[in-house]
Amino acid sequence: MIEQLKLWVLGLAATALLLGLADALVLQKGMKRVLRLAGGILLIIVLLGPLGRLGGLELGGALGDYQAAVEQRETELRLEQEEELSAIIETDIGEYIWDKAQEMGLDVTVSVATRMSSGGVPIPDRVRIEGAYHEELSQWMAEELGIEADQQIWQEE
């Protein structure tokens, strides 16, 4: 599109320069009038010519590419944002569970994985606990945090 724009402007400038030169060379008044009329028509044709060739196809292609680039960038930015938020939520929920485990006298290591809900919010998906299985803690997680037993992975150290 830029190339076409450049060619159009250069063509217009070249036509104007040539007409100016021709006007300077022709001395007879009658011929000058004819030349100016023909030159004016030629200039209008050169000015409006590219509009007929555009047809919306190449312009549409360029706009389509741009739109795709915008959507891709938006997706990248949303992913970055989700990753940042997920990291914080995973840390916080992990610490919450660990605090509760400490209250119960358990020595465990907790790591949480989240997934995006339909509303675009990270929610806990799985919990990996390194330590002996503890039923009370498991039930607490299911009731308090909505992390059911099948979402809990217990690994004895």
- The binding site for another protein (CB under 8 A) comprises 2, 5-6, 9-10, 13, 16-17, 20, 23-24, 66, 69-71, 73-74, 76-78, 80-81, 84-85, 87-89, 91-93, 95-96, 99-100, 117-124, 144-146
Q: DSSP characters for 47-72?
A: HHHHHHHHTTHHHHHHHHHHHHHHHH
CA angle 95, 98, 102 (to 5 degrees): 135
Nearer to another protein, 104 or 132 (CB): 104
Nearer to another protein, 41 or 69 (CB): 69
Q: How far is the CB of 156 from another protein (least distance, A)?
A: 27
Q: How far is the CB of 113 from another protein (least distance, A)?
A: 14
Nearer to another protein, 80 or 107 (CB): 80
Contact 152, 129 (CB under 8 A): yes
> 19 by DSSP, 3-state: which?
helix
Q: DSSP characters for 85-145?
A: HHHHHHHHHHHHHHHHHHHTT---EEEEEEEE-TTS-EEEEEEEEES---HHHHHHHHHHS
Q: How far is the CB of 53 from another protein (least distance, A)?
A: 19
Q: How far is the CB of 60 from another protein (least distance, A)?
A: 16
Nearer to another protein, 108 or 112 (CB): 112
